[in-house]
């Protein structure tokens, strides 16, 4: 594949890979169309298929000359009802229905709930949502072996349908045995991000991080009301956040989700953690080559909110128009960022710097970029933390992230405004300036006469030492003078 130039767009596009898109040819088309990073959904497919997909992405990374972030999304615990005599039953609206611990096949009056931990936490008045909320029950009486419910919304219920419990914190771990195996596989494959599903409490993240053994970054998927209630604690432990609106919209009323989306995005940005808005963004494009106007507005609003990335799910994993879905997502985000009001909108959130030198300098980058005609910000970083600080400020110019770590270069693939390059480390101020100019010219961050901001830490190679800001001017002959 031909080398890709840096994108002018700052918001990232995360595309889910599945049967419709896992071929090397389609992956190349998606990257060219605008995908910046790829999601591997561990809920579907065998490890052999995922290994082949990851290998193909790494080959594409080499041929395109661009570090690519891979997020492995764990399935998480799934609560399900048991089975029915005839495979399904019809629950009568306004009637009664019982969930119990009897393994016998169910009927229109009862069915097994094979999760004993639920019987200890459910209380009168709490809701149970079955089959993505199509069946809605309310607890009348909860006992040790049965839960009697009133049927608020009835209908057809079939074998093994999922159960959501929005009003209680369910005492089950976020990692199932399958998740543990999938996590070990993903770490072994060298993925860059792990997505943890159905997070409820900080302990869920602590357990996952322990199993990751210091490898990769951890993304907490916010899809339960209990996670929203403990969002500040989760932000402390997570490296990034995903607003998983599909399940969040099942457990909450639909009109509650938009303000929560904004709240979660703002909280993540305030903490300097990348935030992804996900699920049902261009849902109609699973079958149609064009989206609805409402879907376009939905994606645009996520971009205006200041999300770091917007995600495509089934649209690219199993849909009939994966390349077109990425193209549309790219065009929406690009058009929004061309709006004169865009930068003002994303800066409505006040992100005051912490009382550290690194934060003060990152904030200064934004101010200088607004005051002086600069074409970009060059960030030298080992771990990516300086790049996250700069991105939090939402500067008016793109960011060239130079790092000696390939892992860091890939990981910032979900970070707003960042174009990462893995390059040799620097050892002196003079080398920093020379390399910064050279890489800026090479990657299209300016031409002769352009000014750029360089941000780094001295002594070089010391984590957390960001203490140097320098404005440089490109002369245009750096490429001929130096080689990497």
448 C-beta neighbours (distance < 10 Å), count: 11
Residue from 9, 12, 22, 39 carrying the catalytic annotation: 39
Q: Say how far apart CA 159 and CA 157 lie, in whole Å.
A: 7
* Number of H-type helices and E-type strands within the chain: 18, 21
Question: DSSP 3-state helix, strand, coil percentages of the chain (rounded to 5)?
Answer: 40, 25, 40
Q: Say which residues have a Cβ less than 8 Å from residue 117's Cβ, sequence separation at least 6.
A: 170, 171, 172
Residue from 10, 127, 269, 279 carrying the catalytic annotation: 279
Distances (CA, A) of 18 to 37, 46, 74, 244, 273: 14, 11, 15, 18, 27
Q: Are 165 and 128 in contact, with CB atoms under 8 Å apart?
A: yes
- Tell me if residue 396 falls in helix, strand or coil: coil
Q: Say how far apart CA 51 and CA 443 lie, in whole Å.
A: 31
Q: Indicate if 39 belongs to the active site.
A: yes
Q: Indicate if 80 belongs to the active site.
A: yes
Q: Kindly give the pairing relationship between strand 163-164 and strand 127-130.
A: antiparallel
In this structure, what is the dihedral angle of CA atoms 115, 133, 295, 287, given to the nearest 10 degrees?
A: 80
Residue from 58, 78, 80, 138 carrying the catalytic annotation: 80
Eight-class DSSP state of 106 = B
Q: Say how far apart CA 71 and CA 256 lie, in whole Å.
A: 28
Residue from 127, 201, 221, 410 carrying the catalytic annotation: 221
Residue whose C-alpha is closest to residue 80's, from 162, 178, 158, 157: 162
Q: Kindly give the pairing relationship between strand 193-196 and strand 135-142.
A: unpaired
Catalytic residues: 39, 80, 221, 279
């Amino acid at each position: 594949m031909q080398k890709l130039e840096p994108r002018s767009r700052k918001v990232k596009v995360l595309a889910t890979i599945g049967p419709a898109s896992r071929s090397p040819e389609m992956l190349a088309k998606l990257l060219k169309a605008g995908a910046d990073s790829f999601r591997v959904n561990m809920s579907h497919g065998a490890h052999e298929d995922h290994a082949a997909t990851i290998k193909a992405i790494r080959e594409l990374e080499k041929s395109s000359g661009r570090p690519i972030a891979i997020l492995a999304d764990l399935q998480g615990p799934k609560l399900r009802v048991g089975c029915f005599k005839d495979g399904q039953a019809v629950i009568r609206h306004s009637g009664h229905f019982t969930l119990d611990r009897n393994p016998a096949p169910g009927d229109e009056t009862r069915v097994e709930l094979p999760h004993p931990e639920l019987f200890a936490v459910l209380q009168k008045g709490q809701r149970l949502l079955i089959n993505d909320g199509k069946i809605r029950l309310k607890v009348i009486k909860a006992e040790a072996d049965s839960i009697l419910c009133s049927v608020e919304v009835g209908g057809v219920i079939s074998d093994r349908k999922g159960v959501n419990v929005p009003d209680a914190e369910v005492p089950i771990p976020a990692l199932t045995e399958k998740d543990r195996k999938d996590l070990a596989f993903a770490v072994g494959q060298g993925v860059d991000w792990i997505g943890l599903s159905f997070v409820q409490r900080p302990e869920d993240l602590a357990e996952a991080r322990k199993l990751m053994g210091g490898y990769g970054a951890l993304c907490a998927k916010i899809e339960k009301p209990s996670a929203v209630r403990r969002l500040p604690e989760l932000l402390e432990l997570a490296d990034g956040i995903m607003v998983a609106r599909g399940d969040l919209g099942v457990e909450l009323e639909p009109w509650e989700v938009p303000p929560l989306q904004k709240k979660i995005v703002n909280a993540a940005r305030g903490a300097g953690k990348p935030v992804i808005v996900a699920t049902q963004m261009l849902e109609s494009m699973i079958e149609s080559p064009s989206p609805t106007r409402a879907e376009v507005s939905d994606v645009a609003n996520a971009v205006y909110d200041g999300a770091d990335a917007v995600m495509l799910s089934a649209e690219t994993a199993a849909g009939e128009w994966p390349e077109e879905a990425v193209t549309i997502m790219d065009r929406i985000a690009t058009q929004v960022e061309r709006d004169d009001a865009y930068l003002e909108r994303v800066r409505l959130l006040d992100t005051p710097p912490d009382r550290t030198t690194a934060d003060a300098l990152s904030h200064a980058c934004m101010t200088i970029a607004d005051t002086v005609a600069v074409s970009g910000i060059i960030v030298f970083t080992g771990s990516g933390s300086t790049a996250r600080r700069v991105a939090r400020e939402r500067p008016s110019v793109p960011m060239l992230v130079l790092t000696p770590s390939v892992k860091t270069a890939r990981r910032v693939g979900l970070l707003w405004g960042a174009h990462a390059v893995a390059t040799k480390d620097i050892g002196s101020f003079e080398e920093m300036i020379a390399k910064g100019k050279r890489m800026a010219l090479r990657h299209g961050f300016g031409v002769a006469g352009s000014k750029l901001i360089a941000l780094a830490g001295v002594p070089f190679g010391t984590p957390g030492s960001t203490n140097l800001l320098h404005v440089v001017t490109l002369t245009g002959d750096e490429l001929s003078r130096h080689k990497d």
